Amino acid sequence: MSNLIGTELTDFKVQAYQKGQFREIRKQDVLGKWSVFFFYPADFTFVCPTELGDVQDFYKDFTELNCEIYSVSEDTHFVHKAWADSSDTIGKIEYPMIGDPTGALARFFGVLVEEAGQALRGTFIVNPQGVIKAYEVHDMGIGRNAEELLRKVQAAQFVEEHGDQVCPAKWKPGQATLIPSLDLVGKL
């Protein structure tokens, strides 16, 4: 897997399920705001609904940061609807659930496990210009933490806005940042 930091999104056109409706999503639809592409292996599974529900619990916080969440699996948008209709957890999701049955998005982001036809748990933070600024990839059995994802989006936004400052470990908005300089070398 090659490094994706600084990579611009490829053109894409996919179908999604969102709040009782099907909709088409293209690259141009995600530009102009922050985005998180949240890949997971499959609908109707075990860890996946806990993660998607966790992201929904913080969804309002993401939208207040001008950030849209796009969950993505290799299922179709029809399967997403069926899952939402049958699961209380998934039925509450407000963000778009992208169907990627051809694997095009998962392949672009480098998370498609071809022989399984599923995606690893990949999380990608994309800036308003469509450039990947942060990402992490987990094995299929390791769930993620939406609160930490929110913190990473906040840090990515801060660094983009304040190019001369960087965010130390566990940084949260309002806490001290660092200004890289010769004076800090060996002092931290």
The verdict on residue 174 lying in a domain is no
Tell me how many domains the chain contains. Answer: 1
The verdict on residue 171 lying in a domain is no
Strand partners, 25: 14
Q: Average pLDDT for residues 5-16, to the nearest whole number?
A: 98
Q: Give the separation between CA 103 and CA 41, rounded to whole angstroms.
A: 11
173 with 87: CB under 8 angstroms?
no
Predicted local distance difference test score (pLDDT) of residue 183: 76
Question: Which pTM does this prediction carry?
Answer: 0.95
The verdict on residue 103 lying in a domain is yes
Predicted local distance difference test score (pLDDT) of residue 2: 79
Give the catalytic positions in this structure.
48
Predicted local distance difference test score (pLDDT) of residue 1: 55
78 with 40: CB under 8 angstroms?
no
For residue 141, pLDDT over 70 is answered with yes
CB-CB neighbours of 168 under 10 Å: 11
The verdict on residue 170 lying in a domain is no
The verdict on residue 179 lying in a domain is no
Q: Average pLDDT for residues 34-47, to the nearest whole number?
A: 97
Q: What residues make up the domain containing 130? A: 13-162
Q: Give the separation between CA 50 and CA 56, rounded to whole angstroms.
A: 10
For residue 158, pLDDT over 90 is answered with yes
Predicted local distance difference test score (pLDDT) of residue 81: 98
The verdict on residue 2 lying in a domain is no
CATH number at residue 19: 3.40.30.10
For residue 187, pLDDT over 80 is answered with no
- pLDDT tens digit string along 89-140? 999 999 999 999 999 999 999 999 999 999 999 999 999 999 999 999 999 9
Q: Is 125 left (phi over 0), alpha (psi -120 to 50) or beta?
A: beta
The verdict on residue 58 lying in a domain is yes
Reference 125, options 153, 163, 97; nearest CA is 153
Q: What is the dihedral of CA 62, 67, 73, 75, to 10 degrees?
A: 100
Q: How sure is the predictor about 180, in pLDDT bands with cuts at 50, 70 and 90?
A: confident
The verdict on residue 23 lying in a domain is yes
Reference 90, options 49, 147, 37; nearest CA is 49
Q: What is the dihedral of CA 74, 80, 84, 89, to 10 degrees?
A: 20
Q: First and final CA of the chain: distance in angstroms? A: 32
Predicted local distance difference test score (pLDDT) of residue 157: 97
Q: Which helix (H) or strand (E) is 146 found in, with range?
A: helix 146-161
